[in-house]
């Protein structure tokens, strides 16, 4: 699984929200729920450490472009 990030997402996810790439991979590979949202975007959710981590991404083959990730 190869993760790519938009510049904006990379800054917000790693520096402001302290979310790790491993946490994002856990959500993508084993979500509690997933849904397609606009165009080719997927929104996946998983309960981690008593909080729900939401990841919005698009997928092409084994590459994932992460648009955003945040705890709810």
Furthest C-alpha separation in the chain: 31
pLDDT at 39: 86
What pTM was computed for the model? 0.93
Superfamily of domain 2-71 in CATH is RelE-like (3.30.2310.20)
- Domain-by-domain residue ranges, the chain? 2-71
Residue pLDDT, tens place only, 39-68: 899 999 999 989 999 999 999 999 999 999
Report percent pLDDT > 70 for the chain. Answer: 100
H helix or E strand, kind and range, residue 33: strand 33-36
> What would the two tokens of residue 12 be?
């917000």
């Amino acid at each position: 699984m190869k993760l790519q990030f938009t510049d904006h997402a990379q800054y917000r996810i790693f520096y402001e929200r302290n979310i790790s790439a491993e946490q994002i991979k856990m959500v993508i590979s084993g979500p509690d729920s997933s849904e397609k949202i606009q165009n080719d975007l997927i929104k996946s959710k998983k309960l981690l450490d008593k909080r729900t981590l939401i990841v919005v991404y698009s997928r092409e083959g084994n590459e994932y472009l992460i648009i955003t990730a945040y705890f709810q």
